[in-house]
Amino acid sequence: MSSPQVIITGASKGIGLATAQVLLEVYDAKVVSISRSTTPELEALKAKFGDKLVVVLGDVSDPEVSLEALKVMPSPTGLVLNAAICLFGRVEKCDPSDWRKTFELNVFSLFHTLVPAIPALRENKGRVVFVSSGSAVGKTTGMASYNASKAAMNAVCRTFANEEPDIASFAVHPGMVETEMQLNFLKSAPAHLSPAEADWVASVHSSGQLVKPEDSGYVLASLVVKGSSDLSGQFFSWNSPEAQPYMKK
């Protein structure tokens, strides 16, 4: 069987980096990563795996960046759409520019990578993993734009799955993952959350309940390589019953 060929957005750190590492180490995949900048960790992965990992630098909100990635890998077997941003702001103080930034990256950039890859994904009977969030069905204070963007992502996933039966598509909640984004959330969130929400977030961090990137990343990598079409269009958590066959043993 030929090696999986996967494009990952937001792959320089956190969940995206962990997913890339699992793909390379466990599934002998070829990976193209898209990120705005590189990191020592991504460079180390590149040094270890050489030509099996190609790093494309650029903002995935720019359609040309995804087209560059597809020139490098014109026949992907899978996509992991992970790049995202979270900007805080209560609804009563809605900042339209923040909403535009959020939707530009979290929603519209999905199409920049997904749409030009559709012919190859159809031919390869490929898979697409939409890295979603519990926020897609959540109501956390001050996170309306992020909540709405992830709900929109889920809608794209389930509709795309219906339109493209030969491409298996999954929207996955990776949990509260121990990443730089999550640490920034802990610092910034209390100013926007209700006291009860802020206390809950602090307790998750202090009690060691955060998910390790390599744990949820393993599930994302497994799904983009061998996810069942029976799950196509569904939204589920990285450790839900649906995900059990794809978790690290």
- Is 82 inside a domain boundary? yes
For the chain, the average pLDDT equals 92
Tell me how far apart the alpha carbons of residues 150 and 171 are, in angstroms, rounded to a whole number. 10
Number of domains composing the chain: 1
Sign (positive or negative) of CA dihedral 170, 175, 180, 184: positive
Percentage of the chain with pLDDT > 90?
79
Q: pLDDT by residue (tens digit) across 122-133?
A: 999 999 999 999
CB neighbour list of residue 21: distance below 8 Å, 6 or more residues apart: 45, 214, 217
Domain of 34, in residue numbers: 5-178+213-239
84: left (phi over 0), alpha (psi -120 to 50) or beta: beta
- Is 204 inside a domain boundary? no
| CATH number of residue 89's parent domain | 3.40.50.720
- Is 189 inside a domain boundary? no
Residue 1 has what pLDDT?
54
Residue 202 has what pLDDT?
72
Residue 187 has what pLDDT?
65
109 pLDDT band, cuts 50/70/90, is: very high
Q: What is the largest CA-CA distance in the chain?
A: 54
CB neighbour list of residue 96: distance below 8 Å, 6 or more residues apart: none
The whole-model pTM stands at 0.93
- Is 183 inside a domain boundary? no
Residues labelled catalytic: 132, 146, 150
Tell me which residue of 84, 80, 62, 97 sits closest to 19, measured CA to CA.
80
Q: pLDDT by residue (tens digit) across 10-28?
A: 999 999 999 999 999 999 9
Q: pLDDT by residue (tens digit) across 88-105?
A: 888 998 899 999 999 999
| C-beta of residue 15 within 8 angstroms of C-beta of residue 82 | yes
Helix ranges (H only) for the chain are 14-26, 40-49, 63-72, 96-103, 109-124, 144-163, 180-188, 195-206, 213-226
Model confidence at 197: pLDDT above 90: no
- Is 88 inside a domain boundary? yes
Task: Please return the burial class of 64, using the count of CB atoms within 10 Å of its CB with bins 0-12, 13-18 and 19+.
Answer: exposed
193 pLDDT band, cuts 50/70/90, is: confident
- Is 53 inside a domain boundary? yes
